[in-house]
Amino acid sequence: MIANADRVRDWCDENEVTTMFADGLDDAVIGITRDLKTGSYRVVYDTHRVVNVLVNDQGMDYDDAIEHLERKIVCMYVGKSTPVWSFLPALDEEE
């Protein structure tokens, strides 16, 4: 099965779309979206998967991975093709 990051790269190549990928986080790619305001395409990452990559592939412990995600990844703006960082909020146990 082809990985999501490869599928997005192939689609971008076929459609002559230029966008930005985060280094080392291909396993966290969940798709691509188009910013209707700027017209640019942006790669979408699952932040839970990003944490898994940081822990499993880069050897960080969970707390360090969360801190790295918040301070070094999600807050970065590198232009109109900056990736989108998506997350699914945890359910409150009382719900």
User: CB-based contacts of 38: which residues, under 8 Å, 6+ apart?
Assistant: 80
- Looking at residues 23-51, what average pLDDT do you find? 96
Distance CA 13, CA 15 (A): 5
- pLDDT beyond 60 at 1: no
Token match 């999501």: residue? 4
- CA 40 vs. chain centroid, Å, equals 16
Residue 94: per-residue pLDDT: 54
